């Protein structure tokens, strides 16, 4: 027995984000970035497993969501010139609202297009029949063929070939790391040693993406008050300690 998995294909990344928001009845002005990011990346990973080419727009939005998530995990929020806190989700919300407005009129435009196609054009039937006959007359076309026309066609074909040859190809690499696994790894390490340096995590695997996943995992643990940090001299390193549980009387 064969099992077939079907994924809905969305017109773009904002179409997918709006689907998540409407499905879960979320407030578009107060988007839970962590939840939306996980669901968005999960959809992209499913596309990769099914050998479906992921458009560059999806990759760009995925990177933007990760950047917003990282900003929201930082303990010090960004502020504007007047000292007001800047919501990292503000630009994303603005783009979603604009896309939602455009999408709301797509149905009307599609219906107008359909109605227009159903209408019959008025014209000279004799002239149209003659034009059709000439378009299928190969000998008549060859009589009007000259060197200039051949060169123009050759130029167009070569230009199209160069565009296809130099077309940018996006390759998505799926790394074997997750923030959840790195959080567990850090907590397990703190069970063995009550204190660990961030440089020790880097020495385990100096790969850039591995360091980023560890850093995001530490930020989430810090937000959940499961660890605490101590800065070293010169701020070139910091130590991670497990947060002591406060006994409840």
The H or E element that residue 230 is part of is strand 227-231
Q: Report pTM.
A: 0.42
Domain assignments of the chain as residue spans, ordered by start: 13-107, 118-165, 179-242
CA 174 to chain centre: 14
Going 187 to 189 to 191 to 197, the CA torsion angle's sign is: negative
pLDDT value at residue 233: 64
Give me the pLDDT at residue 118, please. 72
Q: What architecture is the 179-242 domain classified under in CATH?
A: Orthogonal Bundle (1.10)
Phi, psi values for residue 11, rounded to 5°? -70, -25
pLDDT at residue 175, as a whole number: 78
Give the per-residue pLDDT at 55: 65
- Predicted confidence at residue 3, as pLDDT, reads 33
* CA atoms of 4 and 7, how far apart (whole Å): 10
The pLDDT of residue 1 is: 36
pLDDT value at residue 165: 82
Please tell me the distance from the alpha carbon of residue 20 to that of residue 37, in angstroms, as a whole number.
10
pLDDT single digits (tens) 163-200 = 888 877 777 777 788 888 999 999 998 888 888 888 88
- The whole-angstrom separation of Cα 185 and Cα 67 is 23
Residue 229 main-chain phi, psi, to 5 deg? -115, 150
- CA quadruple 25, 28, 32, 37: dihedral positive or negative? positive
Q: Which stretches of the chain score pLDDT less than 50?
A: 1-7, 248-249
Tell me the C-alpha distance between 108 and 7, whole Å: 26
In this prediction, residue 4 carries a pLDDT of 36
Q: What percent of the chain has pLDDT over 90?
A: 1
Question: Which pLDDT score, from 0 to 100, does residue 193 have?
Answer: 83
* pLDDT for the residue 136: 61
């Amino acid at each position: 027995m064969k099992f077939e998995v079907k994924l809905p294909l969305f017109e773009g990344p904002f179409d997918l984000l709006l689907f998540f928001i409407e499905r879960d009845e979320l407030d578009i002005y107060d988007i839970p970035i962590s939840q939306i990011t996980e669901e968005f990346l999960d959809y992209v990973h499913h596309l990769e497993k099914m050998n479906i080419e992921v458009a560059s727009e999806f990759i760009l939005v995925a990177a933007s969501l990760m950047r917003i998530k990282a900003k929201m995990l930082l303990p010090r929020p960004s502020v504007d010139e007047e000292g007001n806190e800047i919501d990292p989700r503000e630009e994303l919300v603005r783009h979603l609202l604009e896309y939602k407005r455009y999408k709301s009129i797509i149905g009307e435009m599609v219906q107008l297009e359909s109605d227009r196609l159903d209408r019959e054009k008025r014209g000279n039937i004799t002239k149209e029949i003659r034009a059709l006959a000439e378009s299928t007359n190969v000998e008549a076309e060859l009589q009007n063929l000259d060197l200039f026309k051949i060169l123009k066609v050759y130029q167009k074909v070569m230009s199209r070939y160069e565009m296809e040859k130099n077309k940018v190809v996006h390759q998505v690499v799926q790394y074997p790391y997750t923030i959840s696994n790195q959080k567990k790894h850090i907590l397990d390490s703190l069970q063995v040693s009550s204190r660990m340096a961030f440089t020790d995590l880097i020495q385990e695997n100096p790969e850039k993406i591995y360091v980023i996943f560890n850093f995001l995992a530490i930020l989430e643990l810090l937000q959940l008050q499961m660890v605490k940090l101590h800065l070293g001299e010169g701020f070139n390193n910091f130590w991670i300690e497990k947060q002591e549980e406060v006994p409840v009387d």
